[in-house]
Amino acid sequence: METTQKQIVSQEQLVEWRRHLHMNPELSFHEEKTSQFIYDTLTQIPNLDVTRPTKYSVMARLVGTKPGKVLAIRADMDALAIQEENSFSFVSQNPGVMHACGHDGHTAILLGTAKELSDRRDSIQGEVRFFFQHAEEVFPGGAQEMIDAGVMEGVDYVIGAHLWSPLEVGKIGIVYGGAMASPDVFRITISGKGGHGGMPNETVDSIAIGAQVVANLQHIVARTTDPFSPLVVSVTQFHAGTADNVIPDSATIAGTVRSMQHELREDTANRIEQIVKGITGAHGATYSFEFEYGYRPVVNTDSVTAKIEHTAKELFGEERVVRTQPTMAGEDFSAYLEHAPGCFFFVGVRNETEESTYPHHHPRFTIDEAALSIGKNLFVQAAIDLLKEEVV
């Protein structure tokens, strides 16, 4: 395997890009300045054909000196509606908006990858496409919008990575098969009959009925699902009532369903409605039920995953490459995997001494920036390796 001998992009440059992006976060489908910064940076790199497939996304193409296959590498760029609570010098300058999931780092890593592979164009057999994707955090997501614009046409492999707080910095996390879950959402409205809190016999109590629904939803995972099929059903909202002495007419319950199997998603939606229908009917109430399918599960291709794992071990040593458990978080990288085989892996950022221990989506989330070079180096070498050898 040809390994990287010279670091074309310095750690300092990666940190500079990441901190600029961290200071200037933008929400999903509003990444105007972010995408312009990426576009301007890429157009200064030789050998790249830079385009805007959609309003807020950027794609760069690097065609190697030898014919071959097409590899796509993806990074997301959107931030979250969170008020940052960190105190370092490069905190968010946009009130209520924060890079609390590492997308600033993802973008910096891919910028560095594009610059380094451009300098090593003679090592590329085929073509590399760099996807700087908007709106990963908000369904229906930017991935599908980019795909609809044609970015995956002719792509043979697709890879991506997530900076990962649960994983120690210096480690690479590899998952074969199902890596991330589908983030589906349900919403239930129970309609009863309101009345005086002191005369419950004259009402159809939507809160009491709703409490039974919540309790019985727990049986879906505990008693009706194969224990070897990962499934999460979480009630995350319960809204009802406005006064201490009034039983409300209605109650609203909402939550999320997480699964690695599409068939299980459909079955779970049906089970939820069966429970709601039975309980409300037994107590003289009515209901409405909505189930919104989110992103599909991220399911890695074994052959591409094995290649990424091998490259990582060659670069960093076997002790730094670990098999990690799937996560029930969701990711719209799954949309790309519907069109080409690929792998989504994890790059550790956790470091107690750097205080990079907070979970994703926390107002004090940050990363150990040493992970930026690690992610960049793996992307660069993986691109060379995947395009040089046939992946069965």
Q: How far apart are the first and last CA of the chain?
A: 18
361 is in an annotated binding site: yes
The residue from 26, 78, 84, 332 that is catalytic is: 78
Residue pair 173/345 in contact (Cβ under 8 Å)? The answer is: yes
Question: Would residue 148 show up in a list of annotated catalytic residues for this protein?
Answer: no
Taking each helix axis as running N to C, give the angle between helix 11-23 and helix 370-388, from 0 to 180 degrees, rounded to the nearest 10. 110
CB contact burial 236-267 (16+ within 10 A = b; e otherwise): eebebeeeeeebbbbbebebbbbbbbeebbeb
The residue from 84, 136, 205, 369 that is catalytic is: 136
- The one-character DSSP state at 80 is B
**Exposed / middle / buried, residue 51 (Cβ in 10 Å: 0-12, 13-18, 19+):** middle
20 is in an annotated binding site: no
Residue 280 in 3-state DSSP? helix
Residue 70 in 3-state DSSP? strand
Cβ atoms within 10 Å, residue 198? 8
198: which residues sit within 8 A by CB, 6+ positions away?
A: 245
Residue 113 vs residues 31, 106, 379: alpha-carbon distances, Å:
21, 10, 6
Question: Would residue 331 show up in a list of annotated catalytic residues for this protein?
Answer: no
103 is in an annotated binding site: yes
- How far apart (Å, rounded) are the C-alpha atoms in residues 363 and 366? 9
- Annotated binding site, which residues? 101, 103, 137, 162, 361
Q: Which residues are catalytic?
A: 78, 136
- Annotated binding site for Mn(2+), which residues? 101, 103, 137, 162, 361
